[in-house]
Every structure is written in structure tokens, then in C-alpha cells.
């Protein structure tokens, strides 16, 4: 390699390095900006982000389930077998959704609850092709799972949720 070719080669490599470095930096800056915007919204206020905004702060699996109404695999998710005391919050916006006190083993391989934490936590839509009604977070509108009417007493409901749509916050030890 001649000295000039080598110099040119180094120059090209340097440019590629700088431009990919810049786009990684601006991606990080943008996700930090959106995260800060989300953190600044009080918990009792609705969150209305575009899917483009959500993309910056969700993992691809979270995005697929929460924003594209996807479903994760049964028995191969984080919380289907969790029995600890605590609260399950929305993985997108942090809204408290379910208490571990209403969690039960439905045998389906998905985390299942017989009631949401409060009347305002989740929203049920009309019946879907699954035979249950779609459940979304009442604060940010993200897809969480479905509700069916074959649950245990006292409600007779089964809220079948995706683990990836939830974040478990362990209760402090008593």
C-alpha cells in the first residue's frame, strides 16, 4: 500500500467511525430526552407518546408487545411463576397495574391476575379474536394482554398478561 492510499484509507475509516459515533450519541440523547419527558408527567396524568417516541425507550420485545399488540411465549417469560409480594407496574409508563395479592397460578404459563390494582389501572376493549377482551394500560394506552371470564372467585376474571409488558416492584421486607 502506498503512503497516499494508506492515508486515504485511514481518512475513510475515520469518517465512518465519527458518523456512527455521532448517530449513537444522538440516539442516546433522544432516548434520555424522552425518558425525562416521561418522568416529568405526574402518575395521575395520561401519557400520549407516538410510537416513534416509544421506540427510543422500549426494548424491541417490549415494543412488539406493548405497541404492536404482540404476545410473548408462555412459560418462557419473567413473571409467570413469580410468587413474591409486590406490585406489577406498566413497563412502558410505570402505572401501577396489579398487586401480587391478586396473582394466581392459572396454568397457562402467563402471569395471571383476578383483578387490577384499582378501577382506573387498566382498560378493557371489545372482544378480540382470542375470545377475551384486550387489556390496555389506562395511563399510556399500551397493550398488556387479555381478560377472560374463566378466572377464580371473587371476580371470575382472568387477566392474562405479558410479562414483558410489566415490571415487578418488590414490596419492602416487613
User: At its nearest, how many Å lie between Zn ion and the CB of residue 16?
Assistant: 39
Strand order in 103-104's β-sheet?
103-104, 112-113, 158-161, 143-148, 133-137, 122-127
For Zn ion, give the closer residue by CB, 92 or 135: 92
For Zn ion, give the closer residue by CB, 42 or 172: 42
Half-sphere exposure of 151 (CA within 13 A, CB side): 22
Contact status: 163 vs Zn ion (CB under 5 A): no
Which of these ranges, 13-21, 56-64, 103-111, 139-147, lies near Zn ion under the rule CB under 5 A? 139-147
Task: Out of 34, 57, 92, 160, point to the residue binding Zn ion (CB under 5 A).
Answer: 92
Contact status: 93 vs Zn ion (CB under 5 A): yes
Contact status: 91 vs Zn ion (CB under 5 A): no
User: At its nearest, how many Å lie between Zn ion and the CB of residue 73?
Assistant: 22
Give CA separation, 33 vs 4, 40, 136, in Å: 43, 11, 25
Give CA separation, 79 vs 12, 24, 28, 141, in Å: 48, 32, 29, 21
In angstroms, rounded to a whole number, what is the distance separating the alpha carbons of residues 27 and 56? 8
Query: Residue 86 has which C-alpha cell?
Result: 409486590
Which amino acids are annotated catalytic?
Answer: 160
Contact status: 67 vs Zn ion (CB under 5 A): no
Contact status: 139 vs Zn ion (CB under 5 A): yes
Residues of the shown chain interacting with Zn ion in the complex, contacts defined by CB under 5 A = 90, 92-93, 95, 137, 139-140, 142
Amino acid at each position: 500500500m502506498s503512503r497516499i492510499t494508506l492515508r486515504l484509507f485511514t481518512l475513510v475509516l475515520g469518517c465512518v467511525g465519527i458518523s456512527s459515533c455521532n448517530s449513537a450519541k444522538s440516539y442516546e440523547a433522544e432516548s434520555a430526552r424522552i425518558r425525562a419527558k416521561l418522568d416529568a408527567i405526574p402518575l395521575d396524568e395520561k401519557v400520549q407518546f407516538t410510537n416513534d417516541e416509544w421506540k427510543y425507550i422500549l426494548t424491541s420485545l417490549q415494543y412488539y408487545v406493548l405497541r404492536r399488540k404482540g404476545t410473548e411465549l408462555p412459560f418462557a417469560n419473567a413473571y409467570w411463576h413469580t410468587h413474591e409480594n409486590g406490585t406489577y407496574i406498566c413497563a412502558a409508563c410505570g402505572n401501577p397495574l396489579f398487586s401480587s395479592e391478586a396473582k394466581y397460578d392459572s396454568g397457562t404459563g402467563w402471569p395471571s391476575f383476578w383483578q387490577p390494582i384499582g378501577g382506573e389501572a387498566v382498560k378493557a376493549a371489545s372482544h378480540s379474536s382470542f375470545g377475551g377482551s384486550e387489556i390496555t394500560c389506562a395511563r399510556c394506552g399500551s397493550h398488556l394482554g387479555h381478560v377472560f371470564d374463566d378466572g377464580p372467585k371473587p371476580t371470575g376474571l382472568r387477566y392474562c398478561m405479558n410479562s414483558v409488558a410489566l415490571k415487578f416492584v418488590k414490596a419492602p421486607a416487613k
